[in-house]
Each structure stands twice: as structure tokens, then as C-alpha cells.
């Protein structure tokens, strides 16, 4: 509990408020709906926002579908009950929210026409099962849209120094103030796939890639501080470090890094993928 008596917020919510985050997800939602609309004989009856978090993308999807004036059932699925509670308050009655995991969601929600899976596939050590689950949950003609900024190609040329310097400054702060180092034995490897590897995986599991693009977003210092507040990011960056300590160190060290490099923002690529079930 903090001094005000409320629990700390370790969700994705603060990061999801940034304009660039909304923009890249708007583009994915629009592209996914456009691909699906090329099949006018198959109307959209049910849509799924997988790993919906606090509902930012669910709200985007609901707004777009409302504009189409077709009644569509929207379901958001996430493993975090605290995130789902925020999503229910944010989105209201426009969607239903249920608890479930990306690795086994087809037994919770099936018979869907659209699946969105935003900013989360990189968190899965084994990504293929969720692609297979998506194909199982989709109706014929269904469309899957997903994106990630953690893939082989996300660093724009010339930005590699930023990431190395940020981690160096984090480790220095951690040693100076807490006398500890991250426990690398607790790292669960996050394997970053290339676009070609994602394409091959989709095709192996009954999909045809309709669109695959890299979209550049400009990341501010505040955006990195907000993503550092997210528990999974902080635990992955500084494994084995107490969560509040990891968050504090990451936030302060990224501010130090921006100042040291004399920058106000940093470009980062987001992979945007839309695939049809075949």
C-alpha cells in the first residue's frame, strides 16, 4: 500500500495512455477490420481482444465496430483480474471481460471472427501454441491481428547505444543503492522472432499473412518510465530484484540515459501483422 492507502498500480494502464501507443493500435485495428470486410458475405458477429489488459484496445475496437452499426459481441480476455476490473470500468457494457490465458483461451471464447492480440506475443516463451489456439477459435474467414515492439528488427539503426546505456545505469544504481544485482538464473528467455519467423509460424498453423509492416513510433522518456511501472517489464529487465526497487531504478536510470544522450525521444519499430484463417 502507498501512503494514500491504495495499492500500487503495476498494470499497463499508464503506458497505454500515450498517443503513439494509441496510434499504432488504431492502425492495427483498422487494418484487421479492413481485411475482414473484404468478405462481405461473412459478417462479424464476435470479436476477441486477447491479453486485453486494462481495455485500451478493447475500447478502440468497440468504437470502430459501433461505427459499422452492426451488433457485435466483444470479449476481452486477460489473466490479471486487477487489469480486468479496470477494463470493465473503462469500457463499460460495450464488452464482456473474462479471465483466461493466451495459451489456452479457445475453451473460454470460441467461434470468433476477429482476434486482436496487441503488445503481448513477445511475452510468451513459446509463441506457437497461441497461434494454434487462435486458428482453433476463429471461424472460417476469421482474421488475427497482432503487434509487438519486441522482435528482431525493433531497434532502429543507431539506437542500440540507448538500450545498453540504460541497462548499465540501472545496474550501477542497483549496486550503489541496494548492493544487489539481478538474478539471471530467474530469467525466462524472451526470444524475439524475426518477421520471417512469424510468417512461417502463421503459415504452419493455417493462416495466410495479409499484411506485415514495421511502423515507427517515437518513445519519450515518460513512456519508458510508464512501461517500467508494468510488473512484467520490470521483472524481465531486472529479474530477482524486488519489484518496487526494480521499478524505481529503471525509471531513474532511463531519465539519466535520456539526459546523458541529450535526446527527447527515441524511435522504435512496431511489427504490425494481420493474417487470415485459411
Residue among 136, 138, 119 at smallest CA distance from 232: 119
Q: What percent of the chain has pLDDT over 70?
A: 96
Query: Residue 157 CB: number of other CB atoms within 10 A?
Result: 6
Residue among 269, 231, 267, 237 at smallest CA distance from 250: 237
Phi, psi torsion values for 257, nearest 5 degrees: -65, -45
Tell me, what's the pLDDT at 189?
53
Q: Which helix (H) or strand (E) holds 31?
A: helix 19-36
Burial of residue 176 (number of CB atoms within 10 Å: 0-12, 13-18, 19+): exposed
Using one digit for the tens of pLDDT, what is the confidence trace for 217-258? 999 999 999 999 999 899 989 999 999 999 999 999 999 999
Tell me, what's the pLDDT at 163?
97
Pair 79, 108: CB distance under 8 Å = no
Tell me, what's the pLDDT at 3?
47
Tell me, what's the pLDDT at 251?
98
Domain 13-156+189-218+267-277: CATH superfamily is Vaccinia Virus protein VP39 (3.40.50.150)
Total residue length of the chain:
278
Pair 104, 124: CB distance under 8 Å = no
* DSSP output for 73-136: EEEEEES-HHHHHHHHHHHGGGSEEEE--GGG-TTTS-SEEEEEEES-GGG-SS-HHHHHHHHH
Query: Residue 38 CB: number of other CB atoms within 10 A?
Result: 11
* Residue 187 predicted with pLDDT over 70: no
* Residue 260 predicted with pLDDT over 50: yes
Tell me, what's the pLDDT at 104?
83
Tell me, what's the pLDDT at 2?
46
Give CA–CA dist 80/8, Å, rounded.
Answer: 14
Give CA–CA dist 225/37, Å, rounded.
Answer: 38
Using one digit for the tens of pLDDT, what is the confidence trace for 18-37? 999 999 999 999 999 999 98
DSSP state of 155: B
Using one digit for the tens of pLDDT, what is the confidence trace for 97-119? 999 988 888 888 889 999 999 99
Tell me, what's the pLDDT at 186?
63
Average pLDDT over residues 208-224: 97
Residue among 272, 240, 48 at smallest CA distance from 149: 272
Q: What is the side-by-side strand order in the sheet with 112-118?
A: 96-99, 73-78, 46-50, 112-118, 138-148, 265-277, 207-220
Cβ-Cβ contacts under 8 Å for 179 (sequence gap 6 or more): none
Phi, psi torsion values for 68, nearest 5 degrees: -80, -10
Residue bearing cell 541497462:
167
DSSP state of 262: T
Pair 133, 106: CB distance under 8 Å = yes
List the chain domain ranges. Answer: 13-156+189-218+267-277
Amino acid at each position: 500500500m502507498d501512503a494514500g492507502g491504495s495499492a500500487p498500480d503495476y498494470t499497463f494502464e499508464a503506458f497505454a495512455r500515450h498517443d503513439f501507443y494509441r496510434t499504432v493500435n488504431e492502425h492495427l485495428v483498422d487494418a484487421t477490420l479492413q481485411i475482414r470486410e473484404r468478405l462481405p458475405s461473412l459478417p462479424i458477429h464476435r470479436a476477441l481482444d486477447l491479453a486485453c489488459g486494462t481495455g485500451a484496445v478493447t475500447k478502440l475496437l468497440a468504437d470502430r465496430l459501433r461505427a459499422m452499426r452492426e451488433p457485435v459481441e466483444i470479449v476481452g480476455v486477460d489473466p490479471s483480474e486487477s487489469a480486468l476490473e479496470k477494463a470493465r470500468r473503462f469500457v463499460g457494457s460495450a464488452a464482456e471481460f473474462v479471465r483466461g490465458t493466451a495459451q489456452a483461451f479457445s475453451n473460454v471464447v470460441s467461434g470468433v471472427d476477429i482476434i486482436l492480440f496487441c503488445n503481448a506475443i513477445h511475452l510468451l516463451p513459446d509463441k506457437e501454441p497461441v497461434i494454434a489456439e487462435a486458428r482453433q477459435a476463429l471461424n472460417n474467414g476469421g482474421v488475427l491481428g497482432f503487434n509487438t515492439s519486441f522482435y528482431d528488427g525493433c531497434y532502429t539503426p543507431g539506437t542500440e547505444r540507448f538500450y545498453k546505456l540504460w541497462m548499465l545505469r540501472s545496474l550501477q544504481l542497483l549496486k550503489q543503492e541496494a548492493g544487489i544485482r539481478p538474478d539471471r538464473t530467474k530469467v525466462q528467455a524472451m526470444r524475439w522472432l524475426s518477421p520471417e519467423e512469424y510468417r512461417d509460424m502463421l503459415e504452419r498453423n493455417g493462416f495466410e499473412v495479409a499484411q506485415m509492416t514495421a511502423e515507427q513510433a517515437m518513445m519519450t522518456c515518460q513512456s519508458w518510465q510508464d512501461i517500467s511501472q508494468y510488473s512484467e517489464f520490470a521483472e524481465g529487465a531486472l529479474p530477482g530484484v524486488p519489484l518496487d526497487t526494480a521499478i524505481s531504478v529503471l525509471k531513474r536510470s532511463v531519465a539519466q540515459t535520456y539526459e546523458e544522450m541529450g535526446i527527447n525521444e527515441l524511435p522504435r519499430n512496431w511489427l504490425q501483422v494481420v493474417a487470415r484463417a485459411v
